[in-house]
Every structure is written in C-alpha cells, then in structure tokens.
Chains A and B, each alone.
Chain A
Amino acid sequence: MTTDILATLVPAFPLFGAIVAASLRRSLKGNAAGILATLMIGLSFACSVVLFMDHQVVGALHAAGMHQEVPPEGGTHIVKLFDWIHVGSMDVPFAFQIDALSLTMMLIVTGIGSLIHLYSIGYMHDDERVATFFSQLNLFTFAMLLLVMGANYVMTFIGWEGVGLCSYLLIGFWYKTPAYNYAARKAFVMNRIGDLGFVLGLAWLFSVMGTLNYTEVMARAGSLSTETITGITLLLFVGAIGKSAQLPLFTWLPDAMAGPTPVSALIHAATMVTAGIFLIVRSSALFMFAPITQDVILWVGLITSLLTASIGVFQNDIKKVLAYSTVSQLGLMFVALGLGAYSAAMFHVTTHAFFKALLFLGAGSVIHALGGEQDIRKMGGLKGVTKVTYVTFLIGTLAIAGIPGFSGFFSKDAILMAAYQEHPLLYAATLGVSLLTVFYMFRLLFLTFFGTYRGKAHPHESPLVMTLPLMVLAVLSVVGGALNLPHLIGGHETMKHYLGTAADGISGEHLHLEASTEWILMGITVALIVLMIALAYNRFVKKTTLDPEADKLPFFQRLIARKWLLDELYAKLFERPYAWFSAHFESIGERKVMVPLMVGTGSTANRVGKLLRRLQSGNMSFYLFSMVVGLIALLAWTLYHV
C-alpha cells in the first residue's frame, strides 16, 4: 500500500512543481522557483530511496549475495493508477512498474536531477525567465520518470514524447537567438524520426501480441517468429537511435549545446539520451531472440562512437567536446547492448551519468567563472583560480578516461571484456575509442586549466550552490564503481544480479574469459591510457598547441574538424529537396488550389447570400406573389402527383 503511494508521489512531486512554477512564474522572485523545484525533486529522490530500500527487503540484494535466483514476481510490483485505454481488446492501464531496472533509473534521474536543480539555482540566478526554466526542468523530470516507471510501452512512450518536448523547450530556452531555435527544432525533428520507428514497432508488437504491458510481453517473447521479432526490435532500435543520438541521427546533440549548461548536463548527458538504452534493456527479452538486430546495434554503436570520438578531438568549444564525448560513450553502451551485455550497458549508463553530469556542470562553472566564454582557446590557467571546479573536473576526466579505481574504469572495462569475448578486433576498436576519449578529454582539461590564461575576463570561483553538486558528483564518480565490481577483483557484481531480476536478457549474459586473460587485457588498457595521457600532456601542457582554424588544417584533419561534413550531407540529401518540395507545394498547391478553394467557398457563400437577399425585398406585393406561386406549385403537385 505504501509502495503504491510512494510510487505515485515520485512523479507527482515534479509535476506539481512544474505546474506551480509555471502558473506563478511572474510572481516568483529570486530563488523561490529554484528552491521549490529542487525541493520537489529532492522529495522525489527521498521517495525513490525509500522504495529502493523497501525493494531490497523483498530480497533482491540478499539473493544476489547468495547467488540465488529471485522469482520474477517477487521483484516486480505494478502500481495501477487507473484504467486508461480500454477499447475492444486493447487494454492499456496507466500503471507504474517498480522493479530493479526502474528503481535504478529513478534513483539516477531524481538523484542527479536534484543535484542539477540545486546547481541551476546558482547558474540561472540572473536570468529573467528563471521560473519558466525550473518549471520546464521539473516537467522534464516528470516525463522522464513516466518513461522509466511505465508498466507498458505506451506509458514509456508518453514519457518519451514528453522528454522530447522538454528537450525542445529547454534547448531553445534563450529563444531570442534564432540559431538556438534552429538547434531546438533540429533536435525535435530528429527525435521525431526516431519516434516514428518506435510507434511502428509498437503497432507491430501490439498486432502480434495483443498487449503492450511489459510483464506480458516479456513472458511471451519466445512465442514470436524470428522475422517478426527482428522487425519489431529493429523498429524499436530506430526509436532508440533518435533519442540516444546514434548514427545517423546524432547531429542534433552537439547543436543542443545551445541550451543552458544544466540542461545539457541533465538531459543530454545523464537522462534523456539514456532512454534509448533503457528501452532496449527493458525489452531485453525481445532482443535476446533477435541476433540480427543485435548485430545492427553493435555496428551502429561502434561506428558512431569512433566517428564522434574523432570529431571531439578537433572541437574548440568546451561543451561541444563534451557533447561529442557523450555520443561516443552512448555508442559504447550500444556496443555493449549489441553484444548482449545488458548489465554492462546499464552500469555504464549509471557511471556515465555521474561523471558526465559532473563534467558538464564543471564546464558550466568554468563558463560562469569567465562570464560566458566557451572557447577553450581563450581559457587556460584556471586551476589556480577555480580550485574546486578544477579538482572535480579532474576527477571527472579521470573517471571517463578509465583510470583504475574510478567508476568509469569498471564500467568501461566490462564493455571491453565483452567486446574481446566476441572478437579481438572488436576489442581493439573499442579500445581505440577509449584512447581517443582519453586524448580529447585530457586535451580539454589541459587547455582549460593548465598553462596561462589566454582570455580577457576576470575569472572567479563559483558559489557554493554550484560547487556543492560538483563535489557530490565527484565523490560518486569515484565510488560508483563499487556498484558492480567484477568477480575478478573479488566483487559480487551486485548490479548485474540486481538488474537481473528485472531484465531477462541479463540471464544470458556471461563473461567466460579466463582470469589471466582478463588481467592481461586490463593491463594493456591501463598502459595505453597512461601513454595517451602522457602524449596529451606533452602536446597541450608543455607546448600548449592550439589548433588553427579549420581551413588551415591538412585535408584529413579538416574533414574531421568539419564533423565529417555530415550536417552538409544531410542538408543536401534531405533539407534541400524538402525545401524545394515545400516551396513548390506552396506556390502551386497552396496558392492556386487551396487558397482559391477556401476563399472561394466563402465568397460563393457570400454571393449566394446576396442573391437570396433579394427575396427579402420588403415589397409586400412580391411576398404575396411568391405566396401565390408557392401555393399553386403545392396544389399542382398534390393534385397531380399520383
């Protein structure tokens, strides 16, 4: 009973906050909106924690520690709020599903969300529309919670659409600049393309299964034919591509950096972009039976991560580097999914949420310190000035690089191991991505914080309200690895077992490498990472090499610096024909057909009215005459009609 109340409260708090902040947006002064919003998310987080502890008592962790199997009923709790759609055979209740997977995501969303809300109080302090900002941020959290807590695909889809909408609203928050609006629109349109795939997949799934509730779908997943399952899972993956920014629908994410930094941290690092991965893990029972789809996922993820990692090396905007890094890391997560390593992917989602949010918030702190400067070529030497920011950013960078001991190391290692198990070349490729990551992240760190200051502003440290979340996230980035320590080091792989109660796919996840192989691979990885750091140090600290403008680079580097000309390709392939079509449709279809039709209808009605008006001449004789005529007609018809 309390579970139901708590489960309902978790999304209810942010919704309440969103509505209140939006309605009172003109009267909320100062930090009031921010405090309200943060409080709401904090309460949500508290409820999630209570639910989590409660859930543990059911026995999931205990069983994991005992390596026992937990009966699926014991791990899943459905909270039905009301019967929503009940048409014929289609029954879609408005229900939440509380199990290990959703609880994990709830904790991430509300936990990191509350930290980012707290940070935003300081960051958005002197913006004139700050109440709207917090309202939209709360609304986003609400939608995201619906997404992860939904008990059926339709609930998830509501949240899916909701986060897409809030992403659009928040990216284009400073709407007075037209370029930001284009970025927001681009994000929304690309999301929409993915959504189309999602909906088609849902429709197909419903048509073959007759239900969209997770528990039922997963239980009957084996009963579908391979072609059906491959088709459905491919369509669901298309949805994930749109939401989680993979090839070919990833170009919106770097542009989305037009939004305020807390938005980038929350939406485009920690939560929304992981929705695609969440979806696939949630449907892992389906994906288990579709090896072709898994191969597709693997290749898409791999190519995306390589491509974007290479682009990240040449970016000069602090947020863009982090954006490309996000896409690259998401690619790695998809690689893990493609290999069937679902828990490794979720583990990386969690640790990535910690350190990527940290990095973004740190970047925001730097931007705030420099009064709005985002070009790293104009930064430098900040480590003496913004000490807390520097230390936390360093921790974040170490985590993402995969230095042993930090959380990123364990999660990335899990993925690399799974890759090696599949094929050594795959391991080499993912290792390559990791090394590129190390390179550009340390480039970022060094150029921003080391050396001498190359800009013109007066840098100062950010207030506590901004640095406190940084510190918390830094701690999490360090200890987060403890969530899923591999057996190799003596851990219990707690997260894997915990999530195994929720996602069937994890049961098929086995890592059967020899211990020695694992140690060797780990050693190689660490050695190469350290080598990369040294290279970066040499290039960027000893010499402070700033890349020249894109035009002056040699050909290959220029291509990469120009983001592999993908935006231009899309413009030529899609935007130009579409614009041509639109223009022609407007000039012919609209102007020559539709407008005359509509205006013509009105004017015809007008003319008919004018014509009929002549009947009302006010002339008595005419009235009498028409009466007589009518009478004659009526009589004739009656009398002669047989």
Chain B
Amino acid sequence: MNDVVTAIQAVPMEHYVVLSMILFSIGMAGVLFRRNTIIILMCLELMFNSVNLLLTAFSAHHSDPGGQVFVFFIMLVAAAEVTVGLAILVMMKRNVDSVDINQLSRLKG
C-alpha cells in the first residue's frame, strides 16, 4: 500500500508546520486582540487545535502512534479546561456583570 504512504508524504512536512504556526499565531493574536472573554477562550481552543494538527502530522510522517495518543489526551484536557473556564466565566458574569476581561483588575499591585 505504498500509495497511502506516498499520498501522505506528498505534502511535505514544512507545509504542515507553516499551517500550524499560522493558525497558532492567529489564535495568539486573537487572545491579545479581543476583550471578550468568550472569544479569548475560543482563540485558546484554536491554539490547541493547531498544536494537535502538528502533532498528528509528525505522528503520521514518522509512523509513531504516540503522537496521536498525545493528541487524544490534549483533547481530553482541553475539554476539561473549557468546562472549568466557562464556569469561571459564568461566575465572572454574575459578579461584575460583564465579560470584559479588563474588568478583572483587582489584583492591581
């Protein structure tokens, strides 16, 4: 079944790196850019996913199942993190009645 291998390796690794990093940078810019907490959380998810993509690409190219298992775990953790993050967001909305991230500045030094 060398076709599969050839198919997979038709797209060189660098492409995947570039794509992944572009998505990561967009996500990072979004985190810095937006003030709505929900959007920030979503951009975080975007960053997670870009990393997942890269890991999967490496795993496929080097035929190592560990990469994909790791991605699986990342998804697990991301799910848990979203749960708690949204709970915090709900609490935030309840207490300061806004999801603007700059409202949470009580830890001012």
- B32 in the interface, Cβ–Cβ < 8 Å? yes
Q: Which residues of A contact B31 (CB under 8 A)?
A: 624, 628
Q: Is A223 an interface residue (CB 8 A)?
A: no
In chain A, positions 575-614 with a C-beta closer than 8 Å to chain B are: 613
A88→B104 CA distance, assembly (Å): 65
CA distance A613 to B109 in the complex (A): 6
Q: Considering only CB atoms, which chain A residue lies closest to B106 in the complex? A: A618
**B67-109 near A? 1/0 per residue, CB < 8 Å:** 0000000000000000000000000000000000110111111
* Inter-chain contact B28/A618, CB cutoff 8 Å: no
Q: Is B35 an interface residue (CB 8 A)?
A: yes
Docked complex Cα distance between A618 and B101 (Å): 10
CA distance A50 to B108 in the complex (A): 78
B side interface size, CB within 8 A: 12
In angstroms, how far is the closest chain B Cβ from the Cβ of A632?
Answer: 10
Tell me, yes or no, whether A519 is within 8 Å of chain B by CB.
no
Select A620's contact among B28, B104, B109, beta carbons within 8 Å. B104
Residue among B28, B102, B107, B109 making CB contact with A621, cutoff 8 Å: B102
B108:A618 contact, CB within 8 angstroms: yes
Does A570 sit at the interface, judged by CB under 8 A?
A: no
Q: CB within 8 Å of A: which residues of B? A: 28, 31-32, 35, 101-102, 104-109
Give min CB distance, B60 to chain A, whole Å.
24
Q: Which residues of A contact B104 (CB under 8 A)?
A: 618, 620
In the docked arrangement, what's the CA distance between A276 and B7, Å?
108
A sample of 5 more A-B contacts (CB under 8 A), given A617-B109, A618-B105, A620-B101, is A616-B108, A618-B106, A619-B102, A621-B32, A628-B32
Q: Which residues of B contact A58 (CB under 8 A)?
A: none
* Closest CB pairs A-B (n = 5): A616-B109, A618-B105, A618-B108, A620-B101, A618-B107
What residues of chain A lie closer than 8 Å to B101, measured between beta carbons? 620-621
Hey, which chain B residues are within 8 Å of A624, CB to CB? 31-32
The majority secondary structure among interface residues of chain B is: loop
Residues of B within 8 A of A613 (CB): 109
**Interface residues, chain A, with chain B CB atoms under 8 Å away:** 613, 615-621, 624-625, 628
A620 / chain B contacts, CB cutoff of 8 Å: 101-102, 104-105
In the complex, the answer to whether B109 meets A615 with C-beta atoms within 8 Å is yes
Q: A618: which B residues are within 8 A, CB to CB? A: 104-109
Residues from chain A with Cβ under 8 Å of B108 in the complex: 616-618
A620 to B40, CA, bound (A): 11
Known: A624-B31, A625-B32. A619 touches B109 (CB 8 A): no
Q: Within the assembled complex, what's the spacing in Å between the Cα atoms of A617 and B102?
A: 10
CB distance from A250 to the nearest CB of B (A): 66
Minimum CB–CB distance for A609 against chain B, Å: 10
Among A616, A617, A620, which residue has the most Cβ atoms of chain B within 10 A?
A620
When C-beta atoms are compared, the residue in chain A nearest to B100 turns out to be A620
27 contacts between A and B (CB under 8 A): A613-B109, A615-B109, A616-B107, A616-B108, A616-B109, A617-B105, A617-B109, A618-B104, A618-B105, A618-B106, A618-B107, A618-B108, A618-B109, A619-B102, A619-B105, A620-B101, A620-B102, A620-B104, A620-B105, A621-B32, A621-B35, A621-B101, A624-B31, A624-B32, A625-B32, A628-B28, A628-B32
Q: Which residues of A contact B105 (CB under 8 A)?
A: 617-620
Q: Which residue of chain B has the shortest Cβ distance to A631 in the bound complex?
A: B28
Please report the C-alpha to C-alpha distance between residue A331 and residue B60 in the assembled complex, in whole angstroms: 108
- Cα-based distance from A617 to B104 in the complex (angstroms): 10
Residues of A within 8 A of B102 (CB): 619-621
- Chain A residue numbers with a CB within 8 Å of B107 are 616, 618
B8, chain A: closest CB distance, angstroms: 27
Smallest beta-carbon distance A613→chain B, Å: 5
In whole angstroms, how far apart are the Cα atoms of A613 and B101 in the complex? 20
- Cα distance A617–B106 when bound, in Å? 9
The residue in chain B whose Cβ has the minimal distance to the Cβ of A610 is B109
> Bound complex: CA of A618 vs CA of B105, how far in Å?
4
Residues of chain B lying within 8 A (CB to CB) of residue A619 = 102, 105
